[in-house]
Amino acid sequence: MQPFTVLTAVAAPLEIASVDTGMILPGRYMRRHRRPGHDYGEAFLYDLRFDEAGRPRAEFVLNDPIYRNAKILVTGRDFGCGSSREGAAFAAMDFGLRALVAPSFGEIFQVNCIQNGILAITMPATLIEDFWRQLRERPGAEMTIDLPNQALIAPDRGRHSFDISPLRKDRLVRGIDDIDVTLEFGDAIESFEARRRAAMPWLPTAQRE
């Protein structure tokens, strides 16, 4: 997982509330096998980005060329509500996003994002509305998110603090997930298993390939 420390990037304003995981990753795309070169980026918010004939909706913010390389999405409350599909986080990541900023998120979606290297931070709704105003006035403006110092710097250079679990912050900064954390205890696990096999040789053991 790519570490997250300080990100300065174009921010896109998605002024929509209650975008659920079924909108983030439509169910018909979940049957696809996700692999390099065949990811979920195309499917991200597909039905908002395209019409029934597959034509890009010109009025949709992410179809504006100025946001083609946006890595920060500033969106409305309850982003990622609905089902627990982890593919929704994959879709955001494959689309190129590294950070999401909203008044609130679906709890499972937020955790899935963090587990996959996307920082999803909550800010007061009044601040989100002010960020939207700034981004409308300066299309293509950048924001900076400084995770070690838990600060977001808006286009007007205003500095705003945010909260994050110390555990989640550490894992994002170091670029590790739950499996990586377990592997850090590999020597201790091997030592325990060796003592267990010596003390109780009659118990079955899994053979490693």
Has residue 1 been placed in a domain?
no
At residue 168, the 3 state secondary structure works out as helix
- Whether 14 maps to a domain, the answer reads yes
Q: Is residue 45 part of a domain?
A: yes
CATH of the domain at 159: 3.20.19.10
Comparing CA positions, the residue from 136, 141, 95, 143 lying closest to residue 118 is 95
Q: Long-range pairs for 46-51 at CB < 8 Å and ≥24 separation? A: 47/23, 48/16, 48/19, 48/23
Q: What confidence tens digit (pLDDT) does each residue in 149-185 have?
A: 999 999 999 999 999 999 999 999 999 877 767 777 7
Torsion of CA 174, 167, 5, 178, to 10 degrees: 40
Average per-residue pLDDT in the chain? 92
Asked if the structure places residue 208 within a domain, the reply is no
Residue 206 lies in a domain: no
Question: Does residue 20 lie within any of the structural domains?
Answer: yes
Average pLDDT on 120-138 reads 98
pLDDT of residue 108: 96
Residue 39's pLDDT is 86
Are the CB atoms for 145 and 123 separated by under 8 Å? no
- Indicate if the pLDDT at residue 206 is higher than 70: no
In a domain, 169, yes or no: yes
Domains in the chain, number: 1
* Integer Cα distance of 33 and 25 in angstroms: 14
Helices then strands, counting H and E runs in the chain, come out as 8, 7
Domain annotation covers residue 36? yes
Domain span at residue 107? 6-199
pLDDT tens for each residue of 72-91: 999 999 999 999 999 999 99
